[in-house]
Amino acid sequence: MTDANMPLHLGQASRLPASPADAVLDYVPNPRPGRTYLVRFAVPEFTSLCPVTAQPDFAHLVIDYVPAETIVESKSLKLFLGAFRNHAAFHEDCTVGIGERLVKEMKPVWLRIGGYWYPRGGIPIDVFWQSGLPPAELWLPDQGVQPYRGRG
């Protein structure tokens, strides 16, 4: 959070960060503190670079979390995720790193991320990470992303 707890990006012109490390994620107060509810971000066009070939890799990310005191501001999240466009990392590093950064900074009750990566070398790679067990009373819908089936 920036000066006087005002988001840096919301309502402002913002440039894509040069790297995920340079991205500033903004957090705002949870409008329903003390309630158990799920927030979902679906990112069907996530892009990063292969660290070996520098060719683009594509994924459909689904981020689910139960907020505690704050929620992540969506524009800052979009800029953070967009910064991976020129970032070279393996699928596992991107997926788990995104989840870990959100947990470290936002401190949600619970978070999970599913990275459904399109084939590289003919093999689709799906990566899943969660911060722990979900709350028992949480309605947890399926992430809704079908397994890769190719053209058929």
Q: Which residue has the tokens 């991976």?
A: 84
Taking phi over 0 as left and psi of -120 to 50 as alpha, with beta for the rest, 34 belongs to left
| Bridge partners (DSSP) listed for residue 39 | 65
How many whole angstroms separate alpha carbon 97 and alpha carbon 115?
A: 11
- Mention every residue, 6+ apart, whose C-beta is less than 8 A from residue 41: 61, 62, 63, 74, 77
Residues that are catalytic:
50, 57
